[in-house]
Structure formats: C-alpha cells, structure tokens
Amino acid sequence: MKTSLFQNIMRILLGSFMLLAGIGHLTFQRTEFLAQVPRWLPDSPGFMDFVVVSSGVVEILFGLAMIFWVKQKIKVGIALAIFYVLVFPGNISQYTNGIDAFGLDTDLKRLIRLFFQPVLILWALWSTGIFRKKSERE
C-alpha cells in the first residue's frame, strides 16, 4: 500500500512520539502519567504503577510498529487508533477530577487537551493510509 512521502513522515513522527511517551511512562514522566490513570480503577499504588508501566510498554511497541512495520501499517494504524480510544478515559478522569500533570494545571487546559485525542486518532489512521480507496490500498 502506497502512502505519500508526507504521510510516511507523519507516520514516523507519530511513531517517534509514541516511543518517547512510552519511555516517559517507564522513566522521567512516570509520576505525571499516574495522573491519567482513571480514578474509577483500583487506586492502590502498585496497581496504578502497573497501569502506567504496561501502557508504556504498549506505547513503545506501537511506536516501533508505526516506524518499522511498514507492510502492516494500516493494521497498526487501526490498532493505535483503538488504543487512543481506550486510553481516553484517563484524559477524561484527569479533567473531571482536576488533576494537575503535564502542565495541565487548569480546568480549561485539561478540557482543551480532550480535543486532541480525536486528532491523534485521525493522525494514526490517515498517516497509515486507511482513508485511501480500497482499490488504491490493494
């Protein structure tokens, strides 16, 4: 499946962002990512840390797949879009519970952040070529 040079650049850029976010989950932003664990999940520190670490590993794998698994890029893009939908409750929880993290220290900033999730979903799908006509994808 052929995608444009710009789509390929954007796919690799998104994959790089995912790698950085995943590494952040495991290291320098671990505490910040705890703020996005939905408050309706068990709140034991060990479980919350497990959620952050495991989602970080998944993000690293998605980052690598977006960059290197070119033959399956449409499937990877769909899976990444689904992942963005699945982690969205964490962003909603951060907003509804007024939790400061990542510089999101006001309700307005946390609300604005919610509108970026659909952008990430579309980015994952578009950059991998899902919106091309079926005949162009084969």
Whole-number Å distance between alpha carbons of 134 and 41: 40
Summarize pLDDT for 20-56 with one digit per residue, the tens.
Answer: 999 999 999 888 888 888 888 888 889 999 999 999 9
Chain segment 74-132, per-residue pLDDT in tens:
999 999 999 999 999 988 988 988 888 888 889 999 999 999 999 999 999 999 998 87
Single pTM value for the model: 0.87
CB atoms within 10 A of CB 120: 19
Residue ranges making up the domain that contains 125: 5-137
Helix, strand, coil distribution of the chain in percent, nearest 5: 75, 0, 25
* Alpha carbon distance 70, 73 (integer Å): 5
Tell me the C-alpha distance between 44 and 58, whole Å: 21
**How many domains, the chain?**
1
